[in-house]
C-alpha cells in the first residue's frame, strides 16, 4: 500500500511540474459591459419619465430597436447611445462614462477567435466573473478538464467528430482554462457528484491523470472542490447541473446558467438567481467537506492506478 502511495505522490508531483495553459491578461468582457450599458440606458430613460414608445418615437427609432438595446439583445453604436443620452438629459460625466462603456461593449473578446466552438455567450460572461459556483452531476467542469479527458467527453458527445474539429475544440478549451491562472483569477467552488469521479473514459490512464489534476487544482488558493457522495441520498441538485457567475462590480448582478439537452438557459432575475444560489448552498452543505472530498479523489486515483480504469 505504501508503494502505491509513493507512486501516486510521484505522479502528482510530476503533473504539477507540467506546463499548464498560458496566463492570459485581464481582458474585460464586452458581454458584461453590454449588459451594464443596457441597464444604464433603461435607467436613464425611466429617470427622464419616458416610456419606450415615447422615447423611440422622439429618437426616430422603432420601439423594437430600443427594446432590444435595453434588453442587451443588440449592441448600440456610440452614435445611438449619444442620441439617447441627449434625449434623456444625461450630464457630461454620465455621458462620457456611458460613451466609453458603449465603445468597450463593441470590442471583440479573445473567445471570438473560437466562434465556431463557443456558440453562446457563456464564455464571455464567465471571462469577467469574480466567482464561479458550480454543481456538476455529469462530468468534470470544463475549466478543470485535462486534454485527454476533454477528448473523451467530446468524442462521447459526437462519435463522428473529425480530428480537425476535435483539435479546434481542444484549443478553445485550453484558452478557456487559462481563466483560472491569470492575474486576479476568479474563485471557483465546484461540487461534483460522486458519479463524476467514478465514471471513467474507456481509454486506460485518462481518469487517473484527470483525478491527479483535480487533486493538484484543489491545492490552488482560488479553487475549492467538493464531492456529493452517493450516501447523501436525495438532495436539491437532482434536477440538473448549473453555474452561478458572480461579479465584483455592484452594477453587474449575478447570472445563473443551466445547460440542458434542449438548449441553454440564462437566469438574470435576482429572485431566481438567489433561489439557485440557495440551492448551491444546500448542495454544498450536503457534500463532503473540501478536505474529505480531495482525500476521496486521491484515493480513487490510487484505485484506478492500481486496478485500471474499470476495475
CA distance 141 to 147: 12
Predicted local distance difference test score (pLDDT) of residue 107: 67
Each residue's pLDDT expressed in tens, for the chain with a length of 311 residues: 343 344 344 444 444 433 333 322 233 344 677 888 888 899 999 999 999 999 999 999 999 999 989 988 888 988 999 999 999 999 988 888 888 888 877 766 666 676 677 766 788 889 889 999 999 999 999 999 998 998 888 878 776 777 787 788 888 888 888 899 988 899 999 999 999 999 988 777 899 999 999 999 999 999 999 999 999 988 888 888 999 999 988 778 899 999 877 778 888 888 999 999 999 999 999 999 999 999 999 999 999 888 765 54
At 111 the pLDDT is 63
Q: Are strands 131-136 and 242-246 parallel, antiparallel or unpaired?
A: antiparallel
pTM: 0.72
Q: What span, in angstroms and rounded, lies between the C-alpha atoms of 183 and 24?
A: 8
Confirm if 4 and 302 have CB atoms less than 8 A apart.
Answer: yes
What's the pLDDT at 11? Answer: 45
> CA angle, corner 59, sides to 55 and 63, nearest 5?
55
CA neighbor of 104 nearest in space, from 130, 67, 84, 75? 75
Residue-wise pLDDT tens digits, 119-148: 667 888 898 899 999 999 999 999 999 989
Amino acid at each position: 500500500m505504501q508503494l502505491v502511495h509513493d507512486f501516486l505522490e510521484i505522479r502528482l508531483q510530476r503533473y504539477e511540474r507540467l506546463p499548464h495553459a498560458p496566463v492570459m491578461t485581464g481582458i474585460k468582457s464586452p458581454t458584461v459591459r453590454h449588459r451594464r450599458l443596457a441597464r444604464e440606458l433603461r435607467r436613464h430613460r425611466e429617470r427622464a419619465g419616458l416610456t419606450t414608445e415615447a422615447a423611440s418615437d422622439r429618437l426616430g427609432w422603432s420601439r423594437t430597436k430600443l427594446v432590444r438595446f435595453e434588453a442587451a439583445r443588440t449592441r448600440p453604436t456610440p452614435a445611438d447611445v449619444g442620441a439617447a443620452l441627449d434625449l434623456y438629459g444625461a450630464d457630461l460625466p454620465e455621458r462620457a462614462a456611458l460613451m466609453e462603456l458603449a465603445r468597450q461593449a463593441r470590442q471583440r473578446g479573445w473567445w471570438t477567435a473560437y466562434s465556431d466552438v463557443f456558440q453562446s455567450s457563456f464564455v464571455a460572461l464567465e471571462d469577467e466573473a469574480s466567482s464561479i459556483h458550480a454543481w456538476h452531476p455529469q462530468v468534470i467542469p470544463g475549466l478543470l478538464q485535462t486534454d485527454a479527458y476533454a477528448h473523451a467527453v467530446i468524442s462521447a458527445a459526437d462519435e463522428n467528430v473529425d480530428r480537425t474539429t476535435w483539435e479546434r475544440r481542444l484549443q478553445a478549451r485550453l484558452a478557456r482554462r487559462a481563466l483560472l491562472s491569470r492575474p486576479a483569477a476568479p474563485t471557483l467552488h465546484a461540487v461534483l457528484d460522486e458519479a463524476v469521479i467514478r465514471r471513467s473514459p474507456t481509454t486506460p490512464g485518462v481518469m487517473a491523470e484527470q483525478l491527479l489534476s483535480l487533486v493538484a487544482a484543489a491545492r490552488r488558493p482560488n479553487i475549492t472542490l467538493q464531492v456529493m457522495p452517493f450516501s447523501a441520498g436525495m438532495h436539491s441538485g437532482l434536477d440538473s447541473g448549473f453555474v452561478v457567475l458572480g461579479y465584483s462590480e455592484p452594477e453587474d448582478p449575478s447570472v445563473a446558467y443551466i445547460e440542458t439537452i434542449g438548449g441553454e438557459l440564462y437566469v438574470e432575475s435576482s429572485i431566481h438567481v438567489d433561489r439557485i444560489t440557495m440551492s448551491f448552498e444546500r448542495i454544498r452543505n450536503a457534500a463532503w467537506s473540501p478536505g474529505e472530498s480531495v482525500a476521496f479523489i486521491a484515493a480513487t486515483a490510487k484505485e484506478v492506478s492500481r486496478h485500471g480504469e474499470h476495475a
